[in-house]
Structure 1
Amino acid sequence: MGWRMPSETDAHERTWMAFPTEGQTLGDTDVLREEGYATWTEVANAVSEFEPVTMLVDPSEQLRAKRMLSGAIEIIEAPVDEFWMRDSGPTFVIDDERPGTLGAVDWIFNGWGAPAWADWQKAAQHARIIADVTGAELISSTLVNEGGGIHVDGAGTVLLTETVQLDPRRNPFADRQRVEAEMLRTIGATKAVWLPRGLTRDYDEFGTNGHVDIVATIVSPGRILLHEQRDPAHPDHDVTRELRAHLEQQTDAAGRQFEVVGIPAPAQLSDAEGFVDWSYVNHLVTNEGVVACGFGDEKADAEARAILAEVYPGRRVVTVDARPLFDRGGGIHCITQQQPLLEVSA
């Protein structure tokens, strides 16, 4: 099969999400739990202004979800423990030789390396559940991987991180060649561009060990949007400077050298847990829009919207306060997963 993962900028059929359930990720107080429910709801409602949204909802949360979510959002009952849909859900692909054919890559999901704190057994079934609902052809993979660990240009290029796909907690026997072969088989990637690492905070106990979707994304063929930490007091100042130098020397599947566009981090450097990894790179591109992370920094949020409007011309950029998401380990891109709109053969 000639499977290919389209660019996120291509047309979407819908976006998939999962509604939060009680547990460590949501929080251990009523205030934290309500904050989590409200933020997932706000993101879903924002995305639904641009395209349909379907939400997996655990039986225990049906009443709450129906009360909080917009009536435009479709609810499907399914078991949920973790609710980072980018990572537990399928990666959708298409077959250009069979118009109208949808594929769903079912990566092995083990909660970002099977940490002791994670509850992921139910979420590990989400890809198969969604494939069944959509009628997609299931593409089973033996690779432990998450959707937040890859970014593509839709034309053969994939961004990966050495500390994610080659993480011994995920794939103890993998090497670059095996990972790249699986990327070719499942998502049609003919050129892998490896980042040496991710952002500093992402390596703490509750991090992903370097997901690319908080660091860099391919906004158009040959053009990368990169998180830029301008303050030397933050360790990501050196990290992002080194990543820029690295990416500027790389080429995509068509042989183009990348143009790297920086998108500055907000001014706040730390919280009670240490240096923050607040990043505007972790946005979702939707039909005719962009749902962007906001961090309560009026100047930086506005600058980010302007940069996103420039790199995604013709799309309306809206901001949702993503601090409650980052407090829990991710951002807007991490809780959403786009399903491409299929071309129908004549």
Structure 2
Amino acid sequence: MTYRLLPEWYPQDGIQLTWPRPDGDWAPLLARIEATLERIVMATARYQRVLICVPDELTKQRLADTFHAYAVPAERLQLIVAPTDDTWARDHGPISVVDEDGQCVLLDYTFTGWGGKFPAERDNLLTQWLADAGAWACPVASRNLVLEGGGIETDGEGTLLTTEACLLNPNRNPTLSRAEVEAQLGEDFGVDRVLWLANGHLEGDDTDSHIDTLARFCNPTTIAYVRCDDPHDPHYAALAAMEQELQSFRQRNGEPYRLVPLPWPQACFDPEDGHRLPATYANFLIINQAVLVPTYGDPADVTALNALAVAFPEHTLIPIECVSVIRQHGSLHCLTMQLPQGTLARGTPATTAIC
């Protein structure tokens, strides 16, 4: 079976979110992260549906009441009770492809908590759990490869952008060589070109340099990327080297990519122990007719929005404050997974559940 990996700008049925458990890592910040997730839901529901995995019936009813009060249309919201470990739907959610007949298929990769750093057993089972709950309108195909959605970017035309630090990390698939990883990616995604970044990282990032924290396809010819303009910042050399790599990459026709630099926010530090947090504007989410952009209460927020307005001239840009999100070492894109047209079952709005 030949598949094609869909780019994020492909028309969507909705997005997937995973609501935090009251006893999970978000417990000290629960009210703050819930407020951020509520803003994501309300912004997204203007354009498409939102599927939310919730930890229990109490949370489900509370959210149904909350979003009803916020005038979120019932047909745009689906809540499903499911056991989870954490909130990072980008990495435990399904990766969508289409076959040669145009049929959507959800590829369910192995998720190990970014190389065994954190518990992930329940998150790893979530896509199949949702299939059993009737959430999907298309088949699910399991994969043994350890892979997270935040680790890959595609132009939708046979090119994949990723980082060596993540996909070639021995904590993911230690028995596979680069050639073997590329072969698996080619088979699963229909890609015949892999652009590997050897440089680039963010302090405080648990993902081993996920590409969605560093560089993103905006369309088949445009890549937005983070640029550090402070020579005294410890990220400066690696991100400058990454910029040179991006400048050397070529499209299939031999032309260079149109590169859109994103600004470097002021350093953010955890108020508890002072470690640096991974604030990045590259962690935006493309939905139907809009782009949700993480902001950090920083003067660079406006510069980032202006830069992305150039990259997405036909989209509405919606800022989402993500200061609390980076406290758990992710940002907006990490919390979400887009669900292309043909993947999401209609179901019964706000009432579907499996326990």
TM-score normalised by length of structure 1: 0.90
- The residue correspondences of 1:287-326 to structure 2 (distance < 5 A) are 287-297=288-298, 299-326=299-326
Contact 1:226–1:262 (Cα < 8 Å) also in 2: yes
SS at match of 1:180: helix
What displacement does 1:22 show? 2.8
Q: Specify the code of the residue in structure 1 equivalent to 2:159.
A: T
What displacement does 1:276 show? 3.4
What displacement does 1:179 show? 1.1
Residues 1:181 and 2:183 aligned together:
yes
User: Deviation digits for residues 83-106 of structure 1, max 9, x if unmatched?
Assistant: 1101001001112x313x111111
What displacement does 1:169 show? 1.4
Residues 1:49 and 2:46 aligned together:
yes
Distance 1:194 1:234 in 2: 24
What displacement does 1:171 show? 1.1
What displacement does 1:184 show? 1.2
**Which residue number in structure 2 is paired with residue 77 of structure 1?**
81
What displacement does 1:130 show? 3.8
Residues 1:140 and 2:127 aligned together:
no
Distance 1:105 1:197 in 2: 28
- The residue correspondences of 1:150-299 to structure 2 (distance < 5 A) are 150-202=152-204, 207-268=206-267, 270-272=269-271, 273-297=274-298, 299=299
What displacement does 1:257 show? 2.7
Q: Specify the code of the residue in structure 1 equivalent to 2:148.
A: E
What displacement does 1:333 show? 0.6
Distance 1:177 1:47 in 2: 38
Distance 1:127 1:186 in 2: 17
SS at match of 2:180: helix
Distance 2:129 2:192 in 1: 29
Contact 1:90–1:130 (Cα < 8 Å) also in 2: no
Q: Specify the code of the residue in structure 1 equivalent to 2:123.
A: A
Q: 1:172 to 1:23 in 2, by over 3 A?
A: farther
Q: Specify the code of the residue in structure 1 equivalent to 2:198.
A: P
CA-based RMSD of the aligned residues comes to 1.9
Distance 1:19 1:38 in 2: 11
Consecutive unaligned residues in structure 2, runs of 5 or more:
344-355
Contact 1:244–1:260 (Cα < 8 Å) also in 2: no
Distance 1:182 1:290 in 2: 30
User: Deviation digits for residues 242-291 of structure 1, max 9, x if unmatched?
Assistant: 10101111224454432322011223454443333211110101111011
What displacement does 1:129 show? 3.0
User: Deviation digits for residues 52-74 of structure 1, max 9, x if unmatched?
Assistant: 11111122632343344445421
Q: 1:6 to 1:256 in 2, by over 3 A?
A: farther
Q: 1:4 to 1:81 in 2, by over 3 A?
A: same
Q: 1:279 to 1:140 in 2, by over 3 A?
A: same
Distance 1:131 1:104 in 2: 10
User: Deviation digits for residues 182-225 of structure 1, max 9, x if unmatched?
Assistant: 1111122211111114423145xxx1111110100011223211
Contact 2:200–2:241 (Cα < 8 Å) also in 1: no
What displacement does 1:121 show? 1.0
Q: How many residues align?
A: 332
What displacement does 1:310 show? 1.0
Q: 1:269 to 1:39 in 2, by over 3 A?
A: closer
Distance 1:244 1:148 in 2: 19
User: Deviation digits for residues 104-139 of structure 1, max 9, x if unmatched?
Assistant: 111100111112xx2311110122234452132222
**Which residue number in structure 2 is paired with residue 66 of structure 1?**
64
What displacement does 1:144 show? 0.6
Distance 1:141 1:179 in 2: 13
Distance 2:267 2:108 in 1: 37
What displacement does 1:15 show? 0.9
Contact 2:24–2:86 (Cα < 8 Å) also in 1: no
**Which residue number in structure 1 is paired with residue 346 of structure 2?**
none
Consecutive unaligned residues in structure 1, runs of 5 or more:
none
SS at match of 2:125: helix
SS at match of 1:174: coil
Distance 2:255 2:19 in 1: 40
Contact 1:202–1:208 (Cα < 8 Å) also in 2: no
Contact 2:110–2:124 (Cα < 8 Å) also in 1: yes
Residues 1:88 and 2:92 aligned together:
yes
TM-score normalised by length of structure 2: 0.88
Q: 1:329 to 1:275 in 2, by over 3 A?
A: closer
Distance 1:331 1:311 in 2: 20
Q: 1:307 to 1:83 in 2, by over 3 A?
A: same
Distance 2:127 2:253 in 1: 31
